[in-house]
């Protein structure tokens, strides 16, 4: 992993203080959806666009710090996860240079793994708190998308992967809620869930979807008081 600009001065001015003294407890993974890493960097560092992330990783595995981790970068937007509605204040954002149409390059994935390990250690963030942008904003976002290898991260303890099983389809939405997904129409949640855990799946909600969701809810349940916030 090659790291540049990971100390002040920070390239992006698009950040502020974390509200209420909140510390990072989530990591949100994005893709840039732009033609090049240079173009994405320019956008993330332009005050006119009011968008940023803490880290940007190029296709060749160069890791650049754009915003200090202790600060509130503007990467997540509207959405929620596990009862957290100000995700920007509670998270660290990582942007991967990728249009969303191609696989993520090996050097980029290796760099991400090294970066994630460090962030998780620094802020005591557990694997189930590493999420997709599409997880917290299923109505708006689809990144990092179907070509991102979540299972690879899970095998290294950098994310999670559900165990296979089946359950009644009526259990799907309650299980997603217990796991951390926000309230949203079933179709949007199914799309977001499959993007991460069953990107090859097609058709209506099925018992396999429900079984995977129930496994996640059983193993990584959200505190019930958080869901009432």
- The CATH number given to whatever domain includes residue 115 is 3.40.80.10
210 and 115 fall within a common domain: no
Task: Compute the half-sphere exposure of residue 197: CA atoms within 13 Å on the CB side of its CA.
Answer: 23
* Structural domain containing residue 180: 169-227
pLDDT tens, residue by residue, 99-133:
999 999 999 999 999 999 999 999 999 999 999 99
- Per-residue pLDDT for 210 more than 90? yes
Position 225 scores a pLDDT of 47
Q: Which residue has the higher pLDDT, 149 or 8?
A: 149
Mean pLDDT (the chain, rounded)? 94
Closest to 82 in 3D by CA, of 195, 229, 215? 229
Q: Would strands 62-65 and 130-132 be described as parallel, antiparallel, or unpaired?
A: unpaired
131 and 187 fall within a common domain: no
- Per-residue pLDDT for 33 more than 60? yes
* Alpha helices (H) in 124-165, listed in sequence order: 133-136, 150-155
Position 10 scores a pLDDT of 82
Instruction: Answer yes or no: is 65 within a domain.
Output: yes
Closest to 189 in 3D by CA, of 129, 229, 133, 135? 135
Position 1 scores a pLDDT of 56
Instruction: Answer yes or no: is 61 within a domain.
Output: yes
123 and 62 fall within a common domain: yes
Structural domain tally of the chain? 2
d(Cα 86, Cα 209) in Å, to the nearest integer?
Answer: 28
128 and 34 fall within a common domain: yes
10 and 75 fall within a common domain: yes
Instruction: Answer yes or no: is 161 within a domain.
Output: no
94 and 182 fall within a common domain: no
Question: Which domain-ending residue is among 133, 155, 177?
Answer: 155
Which one from 39, 50, 95, 186 is the annotated catalytic residue?
Answer: 95
139 and 56 fall within a common domain: yes
174 and 115 fall within a common domain: no
Question: Which domain-ending residue is among 110, 128, 155?
Answer: 155
Instruction: Answer yes or no: is 160 within a domain.
Output: no
- Per-residue pLDDT for 3 more than 70? no
137 and 199 fall within a common domain: no
Position 2 scores a pLDDT of 58
Instruction: Answer yes or no: is 164 within a domain.
Output: no
Instruction: Answer yes or no: is 82 within a domain.
Output: yes
95 a catalytic residue: yes
What percentage of the chain has pLDDT greater than the value 70?
94
38 and 87 fall within a common domain: yes
Instruction: Answer yes or no: is 25 within a domain.
Output: yes
Contact 10, 26 (CB under 8 A): no
135 and 188 fall within a common domain: no
Closest to 59 in 3D by CA, of 24, 103, 28? 103
Instruction: Answer yes or no: is 163 within a domain.
Output: no
- Per-residue pLDDT for 4 more than 90? no
Interval 131-144 mean pLDDT:
97
68 and 130 fall within a common domain: yes
- Per-residue pLDDT for 227 more than 90? no
């Amino acid at each position: 992993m090659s790291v540049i600009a990971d100390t002040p001065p920070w390239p992006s001015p698009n950040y502020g203080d974390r509200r209420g003294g909140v510390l990072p407890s989530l990591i949100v993974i994005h893709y840039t959806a732009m033609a090049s890493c240079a173009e994405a960097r320019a956008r993330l560092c332009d005050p006119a666009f009011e968008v940023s992330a803490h880290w940007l990783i190029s296709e060749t595995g160069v890791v650049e710090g754009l915003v200090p981790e202790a600060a509130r970068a503007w990467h997540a937007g509207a959405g929620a996860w596990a009862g957290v509605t100000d995700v920007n204040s509670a998270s660290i954002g990582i942007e991967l240079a990728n249009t969303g149409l191609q696989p993520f390059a090996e050097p980029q994935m290796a760099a991400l793994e090294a970066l994630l390990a460090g962030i998780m250690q620094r802020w005591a963030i557990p694997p189930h708190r590493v999420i997709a942008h599409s997880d917290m904003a299923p109505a708006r976002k689809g990144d990092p998308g179907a070509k991102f290898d979540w299972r690879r991260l899970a095998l290294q303890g950098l994310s999670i992967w559900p165990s296979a099983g089946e359950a009644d389809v009526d259990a799907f939405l309650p299980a997603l809620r217990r796991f951390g997904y926000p309230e949203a129409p079933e179709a949007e949640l199914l799309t977001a869930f499959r993007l991460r855990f069953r990107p090859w799946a097609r058709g209506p909600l099925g018992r396999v979807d429900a079984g995977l969701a129930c496994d996640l809810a059983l193993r990584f349940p959200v505190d019930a008081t958080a869901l009432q916030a």
